[in-house]
Amino acid sequence: MLKNKLFIFLLFVSVLPVMSQITLYRGDAKFNADVAFTIENGRVYHGDGSRMNKAVLTISDNRIYLGQSNSSFDCLYTIKDNKVYLGDSNFSSDIIYTIEEGKVYRGNSTFSSNCILTIDEDKIYMGDSTFPNDLLFTVGGDNYLSNSIIACIVGPY
């Protein structure tokens, strides 16, 4: 009996991340009218979840694809360690973002002049800032979204 309950609990917990939804709201609001992106089941949609017709991006195996594709021809970004590469590449010349300590930098750099996004808890700011006027998005939802994936979705800046 206890084994059955444990199995059902583990099955339920393993399904939760698949069913969870992440929302990126414009600015500091958390109203449906302010939804910029919805991420659900590895698909990224513009706007809120009520109008999910076609995915604009697909997230799979540390890669970001255009639309609903998983084809290497449609690969926009490859994520490896703290770097985001252009397309299906892993060459240093194709690094478009470097992520370090909650900051997203342009290229293979960690200079503050190359900082394009700052991620602080559930807030995403423009540049090397955490001022309210520089707030771009607020992240809502129960699931964790890596800084690399955030950079791919809301970039380039």
Q: Is the separation of the CB atoms in 5 and 115 below 8 Å?
A: no
What percent of the chain lies above the pLDDT cut of 90? 47
Q: Is the separation of the CB atoms in 126 and 136 below 8 Å?
A: yes
Task: Show the tokens assigned to 109.
Answer: 């750099």
d(CA 4, CA 89): 46
pLDDT at 120 over 50: yes
CATH number for the segment(s) 2-154: 2.40.160
pLDDT value at residue 12: 37
Domain extent listing, the chain: 2-154
Give the H or E element holding residue 113: none
pTM recorded for the entire structure: 0.79
Per-residue confidence band for 149, with pLDDT thresholds at 50, 70 and 90: confident
DSSP code of residue 32: G
Burial of 130 (0-12, 13-18, 19+ CB in 10 A): middle
Please report, as a single letter, which amino acid is at residue 105. Answer: Y
Burial of 121 (0-12, 13-18, 19+ CB in 10 A): exposed
Q: Dump pLDDT digits (tens) for 66-117.
A: 999 889 899 999 999 999 999 999 999 999 999 999 999 999 999 999 999 9
d(CA 126, CA 148): 15
Stretch 7-25: mean pLDDT: 52
d(CA 60, CA 137): 23
Tokens 């194709």 belong to 94
